[in-house]
Structure 1
Amino acid sequence: MPDQDPSSMEQLHDDLHTEYGKLVDIVSGFDQRLLTIKGWGVTVSLAGLGLGFQQGHYGLFLVAAVSGAAFWLLEAYAKMHQIHYYPRMRDIEVTAYELFRVDTASGAASSPLIDWGWETAGQRIRKQKAKGTPNEPVRYAEMREERSVQPWTMAHVMFPHVVSIVVGTILFILGLGGAFGQI
């Protein structure tokens, strides 16, 4: 890399940190929206199940199942939008590492490394073989080649919506079969 003007490098460093901070704020904002979606999904589905029993109308069990599916898809869609910010966060981490890392007694150090720290934390906590060095980030595309991220299949996205769908569907089928009497 050719020598760079120190003031332009400092400006780039500041710009990267500013952008990274904004990305973290955006991702955190999505977390709040996702919790709101999950809360409304649970509320509507449980209300449908409860009203189905209270009103003695098994069609409301189907409403609970359909609303569970709708909120599951809505949450997966919002999660997909959140995930789209992760590659840029990693790009900034790798660029900051490449341009601004500092060698320390325990190895190279750079900042920010929030996303990369999350990526390597599981292996470090479980004392498994690491997929990378904790202080040396790898671009997002290089880490994700082996699998595709599908938000609707993530356990924290699908639950408790899938429970509402299953319970609502089972109760609706039982109702159709006459288990709850006539409507």
Structure 2
Amino acid sequence: MDGSVEPGDLGRLHDDLNAEYARLLDIVSGFDQRLLTIKGWGVTLSLATLGLGFQQNHYGLFLVAAASGVAFWLLEAFTKAHQVHYYPRMRAIELTAYTLFSVAMPDGGRASSPLIDWGWWVADDPVRPDGRHVDPAVPESWESPSSWWSKQPWFFGHVMFPHVVAFVLGTLLFVLGLLGVFDQI
């Protein structure tokens, strides 16, 4: 093969990339629904167990609430980690589409589609940690954030809350129960 592009190859590639991107978007959206379900179950179980601990006057249930908070926190973090694995491919498709299929705009810039992942990445602050200002219309390759904390989904605020609250509150109430603050059981 001499590396030449046959007529129609770019069209097929464009269609294949769009189809793959749409499928990836469906998969990522499906994870969002699972994450909401996990969060809902976690909050319900933890709060119900805390309430039951007070109702039954049994501080051991506070430990159960703390343990369920940790369990759902980890479950949500692992699910989020699986979801994040799809982002580099989404960005690669966006970059390929921009490189091969972008069109010139009257203002001298270029436009392409899709840019969902890139648009989300630059929405809050187009200035990168290294001080570079990025163009929201020109995707760059996917790079995970460099800090160790940012690579750990269990430390993402939207993943750990409210599970961390259930863990801390359940643990605190359990320790207070052990110290005799509550009636003896």
TM interval, shorter chain, is over 0.9
Q: Deviations over 1:98-156 (max 9, x none)?
A: 111111123111110000001111115xxxx7642111111103xx3533521000000
What corresponds to 1:98 in structure 2?
99
Runs of 4+ in 1 over 4 A off after TM superposition: none
Q: Deviations over 1:15-66 (max 9, x none)?
A: 0000000000000000000000000000000011001000000000000000
The whole-number CA distance in structure 2 between the counterparts of 1:133 and 1:178 is: 60
Report the Cα offset of residue 4 of structure 1: 2.3
What corresponds to 2:171 in structure 1?
169
Contact 1:91 1:139 in 2 (8 A): yes
Count of paired positions: 177
The whole-number CA distance in structure 1 between the counterparts of 2:73 and 2:145 is: 26
What corresponds to 1:31 in structure 2?
32
The whole-number CA distance in structure 2 between the counterparts of 1:30 and 1:145 is: 21
What corresponds to 2:146 in structure 1?
146
Question: Is the counterpart of residue 160 in structure 1 residue 168 in structure 2?
Answer: no
- Taking structure 1 as the reference length, the TM-score comes to 0.92
Give 5+ residue unaligned stretches, structure 2.
Answer: none
Larger displacement relative to structure 2 (18-27 or 102-111): 102-111
Question: Is the counterpart of residue 72 in structure 1 residue 77 in structure 2?
Answer: no
Amino acid at match of 2:6: D
What corresponds to 1:114 in structure 2?
116
Matches within 5 A, 1:44-59: 44-59=45-60
* CA-atom RMSD in angstroms: 1.6
Q: 1:53 to 1:145 in 2, by over 3 A?
A: closer
% of aligned pairs identical? 63
Contact 1:123 1:130 in 2 (8 A): no
SS at match of 2:58: coil
The whole-number CA distance in structure 2 between the counterparts of 1:134 and 1:158 is: 29
SS at match of 1:38: helix
The whole-number CA distance in structure 2 between the counterparts of 1:79 and 1:156 is: 10
- Taking structure 2 as the reference length, the TM-score comes to 0.91
The whole-number CA distance in structure 1 between the counterparts of 2:36 and 2:6 is: 45
More helix by share: 1
The whole-number CA distance in structure 1 between the counterparts of 2:158 and 2:122 is: 19
What corresponds to 1:132 in structure 2?
134
Q: 1:48 to 1:115 in 2, by over 3 A?
A: same
SS at match of 2:181: coil
